Amino acid sequence: MGEGTGNRVLADGKSAEEWLWHAQELVPMALDKARKVKGFPSRWKIIIFKLEQVPSRLSDLSSHPFFSKNALCKEQLQAVSKTLKEAIELADLCLKEKYEGKLKMQSDLDALSGKLDLNLRDCGLLIKTGVLGEATLPVSLVGSSSESETATHGHLKELLARLQIGHLEAKHKALDSLVEIMKEDEKGVLSVMGRSNIAALVELLTATSHRIREKTVTVICSLAESGSCESWLVSEGVLPPLIRLVESGSTVGKEKAIISLQRLSMTTETARAIVGHGGVRPLIEICRTGGSVSQAAAASTLKNISAVPEVRQVLAEEGIIKVMINLLDCGILLGSKEYAAECLQNLTASNENLRRSVVSEGGIRSLLVYLDGPLPQESAVRALRNLVSSVSMEVLVSLGFLPRLVHVLKSGSLGAQQAAASTICQVCRTNETKKLVGEAGCIPLLIRMLEAKSNSAREVAAQALSSLVTMSQNCREVKKDDKSVPNLVQLLDPSPQNTAKKYAVSCLASLSSSKKCKKLMISYGAIGYLKKLFEMETPGAKKLLERLERGKLRCLFSRK
């Protein structure tokens, strides 16, 4: 379609059949004149070759049962006719040698050749897209709701086809309409979206017009967020143009491109591909300098990428550690800080060199300050757990590590509390450390955690307590807590789902030196549980059972 025609049907009253006849009449005239031209032989040879293909394309269109009812088909026939007329006019000028100049004519012939390419391609696409199967129903003829749905469906397919057919300006108008429709009926658009439509959108991401790129990436962002087109988007090559937009797009273009990458990077393969296409550096730059939404989306994308172990070193070499620590300190949105903490958690999960880098850049201090908030996040605690073995307890204490652990155990989500208990297990390697943890106030909070609904939370709380009670001062504190024995006895449940039982046995064994605690264990049914655990060969169950049974016998004899 010519730029002047855009998406509209020319208001001259001709039907699609009449435009077909008109085009069919023009083809032999154009060929006849083109073959007579002597000048510019190489260019006219190419043009003749393309003109010879037009009849078969027109035949393909006309043989379709709905060709006369579809607006796109009529517009395409108009565009073909216009190109054929231009071919006849240029041939006449060449035959009469009445053109302005040789260079100008060469340029005009090249443009004509390009228009013929476009016409031939677009005719083929009309058949290929299947849009001709959707007869365009005038709104006035739509009656029932099912007819209305059919009309809407057909309109959407036609609109999507326009993204592939015609000149850039026509595609721009189609994009405008698509953006507006997606605001109201995103599901409707997704229901008719095909792979060829995705390919057309990806191609428009590289258009010279920044307005077209911006609108295209807005549509692609919606598609990525819908979760239904990720594989098509990636396989059609969306990543390189998205990364280029992150580097040099407009503010809106950058934001939409980053949000698209955020969603697409959730799969391991795509995360790797983003690294392979050079996406890490521009994302890191956005974390440094971007606006609030872009910064958060870039941090989230990098967090997703950092979940892939083999690319973590590449991320570190691009400077991600310093940037994520800075985000923890100065991130505009809370979301940015949370993503930064998750990223640091991933980076420090298994690589000692990266742990040392985080420590040397001041990461522990930043993570601890971040935990001061009213809702301390699990990711930050897990990042700390990864780091505590890389520094001395003296350094951790000087940074205020223990009060933050207590704060998490009091105010954090269950996941954060669980991570804090796991961190306690990690640091309690000496009696001095165990004493400091006990004095900080962790023990009562861990005892309450034994009542958690989550089995894994109960297990790690029991594990932390089993380590702490080996220090006599802590053991005395546990004995004084009214909840300790009942909660621990409940964890002797022999069911396979209860993974805390071996730690509960260990804790109760430490408490069994107290007569009061032994009586409580017996009264809460510990002996029955321990008999089953003894049969299951749970470590320590036999010894604790014997101790409680001896105590029970003494009680009986003393009563007599």
Q: In this predicted model, what pLDDT tens digit does every residue of 27-65 receive, in sequence order? A: 999 999 999 999 999 999 999 999 999 999 999 888 877
Tell me the C-alpha distance between 19 and 67, whole Å. 12
Burial code of 176-213, b = ≥16 C-beta within 10 A, e = fewer?
A: eebeebbeeeeebbbebbeebbbbbbbbbbebeeeebb
Closest CA to 347 of 335, 334, 333, 361: 361
Tell me the C-alpha distance between 86 and 82, whole Å. 6
Tell me the C-alpha distance between 310 and 197, whole Å. 34
Angle (CA) 319-369-391 rounded to 5° is: 70
Tell me the C-alpha distance between 16 and 166, whole Å. 17
Q: Which helix (H) or strand (E) holds 137?
A: none
Angle (CA) 477-478-482 rounded to 5° is: 105
pLDDT of residue 108: 95
Closest CA to 278 of 311, 323, 300, 235: 311
Is the separation of the CB atoms in 264 and 224 below 8 Å?
yes
Backbone angles phi, psi at 371, to 5 degrees: -75, -10
Cα radius of gyration (the chain): 37
pLDDT of residue 129: 67
The residue written with tokens 């208001």 in the block is: 11
* Per-domain boundaries in the chain: 16-136
Tell me the C-alpha distance between 6 and 19, whole Å. 17
What residues of the chain score a pLDDT lower than 70? 1-12, 129-154, 551-560
The residue written with tokens 């090249």 in the block is: 110
CA 546, 550, 555, 557 dihedral sign is positive
pLDDT of residue 141: 36
Residue 327, judged by CB atoms within 10 A of its CB (0-12, 13-18, 19+), counts as: buried
pLDDT of residue 11: 43
